[in-house]
Amino acid sequence: MSQRPIIALDFPSKAEVEAFLDNFPKEESLFVKIGMELFYQEGPEIVRWLKGLGHSVFLDLKLHDIPNTVEKSMIGLAKLGVDITNVHAAGGVKMMEAAKAGLKKGTKAGAKVPILIAVTQLTSTSEKEMQEDQLIEVPLKDSVLHYAKCTEKAGLDGVVCSALEAQDIHQATSETFVCLTPGIRPSGSEVGDQQRVVTPIAAKKIGSTYIVVGRPITQAENPYEAYQSIKNEWNGAR
């Protein structure tokens, strides 16, 4: 089966998501990302609704709290039937283990436990900011690789990272470690505020497991055409 790029539904309301989804054939099963913007407005119902329409959901809430709170929250997210969700690796190995335990507890018997990944350093954080604000004195790349190793140790499935980091992360962990990568732009498109962008075909070659694409699809004149073209490129058809 061909792989679907994950569409970032960066919209402020369900009404806008509905208008966007009207661009796609009803029977097309999509993989979508719900972030904080949409989730904090529409609540868990937005996940149930999208799952009910037959879509797969990456719930991008980046949990970071004490292990007990994260575990209890993850029980609830698993009950919603999310396919992928995430935490901040900075919460520590114990917090990540608790997150995984929560997902297992909340998953119905016989169902697949959601894929759990961690954010290492946010891509908006510069090396200087990391060193000054977090008092982490190593280079940014070392911190990213360290967090990736902690994530693996905690039994999680992988990390959110730049496609440009995927190779090093796979070397530091394993080939099957999930690298879910935003910052994707089809060749010749608007870069927007993303600094280091990679095309879908390059991301595939470097080792991305999943790609997340927002504006090149959501802001396209013809979102379905843009989606298909990115999907084809991602699957090596171009």
Q: Which two tokens stand for residue 236?
A: 């090596």
Comparing CB distances to ligand C5P, the nearer of 212 and 226 is 212
Residue where the block lists tokens 């995927």? 166
As measured in angstroms, the least distance from the Cβ of 110 to ligand C5P is 32
In the set 62, 79, 149, 205, the catalytic residue is 62
Q: Write each residue from 179 to 198 as x if it is in contact with ligand C5P (CB under 6 A), else as -, in one continuous string.
A: ---xx--------x-x----
Spatial contact of 87 and 53, defined as CB atoms under 8 Å apart: no
Residue 123 is a binding residue for ligand C5P (CB under 6 A): yes
C-alpha radius of gyration, the chain, whole number: 17
173-125-144 Cα angle (round to 5): 10
Q: What angle do CA 103, 165, 196 make, to 5 degrees?
A: 110
CB of 218 to ligand C5P, least distance (A): 7
> Least Å distance between CB 93 and ligand C5P?
21
| Site string (137-166) toward ligand C5P, x via CB under 6 A | -----------------------x------
Catalytic site includes residue 204: no
C-beta of 67 vs 218, nearer to ligand C5P: 218
- With CB under 6 A, what is the number of residues at the site for ligand C5P? 14
Distances (CA, A) of 94 to 1, 99, 185, 205: 36, 9, 36, 33
Q: Which stretch binds ligand C5P (CB under 6 A): 70-78, 85-93, 127-135, 209-217?
A: 209-217
- The CA-based diameter of the chain, rounded to the nearest angstrom, is 51
Give the residue with the Cβ less far from ligand C5P, 154 or 160: 160
Interface residue with ligand C5P, options 21, 30, 32, 35 (CB under 6 A): 35
Of the candidate spans 97-105, 130-138, 206-214, 230-238, the one that interacts with ligand C5P by CB under 6 A turns out to be 206-214
Residue 123 CB partners (closer than 8 Å, separation 6+): 162, 182, 183, 195, 196
Which residue do the tokens 């732009």 mark? 185
Among 4, 7, 8, 179, which residue interacts with ligand C5P (rule: CB under 6 A)? 8
Q: Can you spell out the DSSP letters for 180-220?
A: EE--B--TTS--TT-SS-B-HHHHHHHT-SEEEE-HHHHTS
- Give the interface with ligand C5P as residue ranges (CB under 6 A): 8, 10, 35, 122-123, 160, 182-183, 192, 194, 212-215
Name the residues annotated as catalytic: 62
